[in-house]
Amino acid sequence: MSDTLAQLQKNLQTLTPSHLEVIDDEQHHIEHRHEGAGHFTVTIVSPQFSQQSLVQRHRMVFAAVGDLMPTSIHALSIHAYTPEEFSH
């Protein structure tokens, strides 16, 4: 597991996820690497997303990611759900 992947998972714990999946998508972006900054896909389920718009959820994820963007993470694909949405 890369240091960035581990730190990303740790940072996202602040959102108290009931489900968290972080995928390193670097293999799909070999032709345009960004000086060590990676590409990741996050699927996160948190009760903190209740009553939040999609934009607000993404802002919450970016706030949790913190200073990993843009130095360690170049691109982040986010799938953010409430527990009720994820169970359907």
Say whether pLDDT at 18 is over 70. Answer: yes
Cβ(8)–Cβ(40) below 8 Å: yes
pLDDT digits (tens, 9 = 90+) for 24-65: 876 654 555 555 568 889 999 999 999 999 999 999 999 999
pLDDT attached to residue 37? 64
Question: pTM surpassing 0.75?
Answer: yes
| 39: CATH | 3.30.300.90
Percent of the chain with pLDDT over 70: 84
Cβ(36)–Cβ(3) below 8 Å: no
Number of domain units in the chain: 1
**What is the identity of the amino acid at 65?**
V
Its domain, for residue 24, covers: 3-86
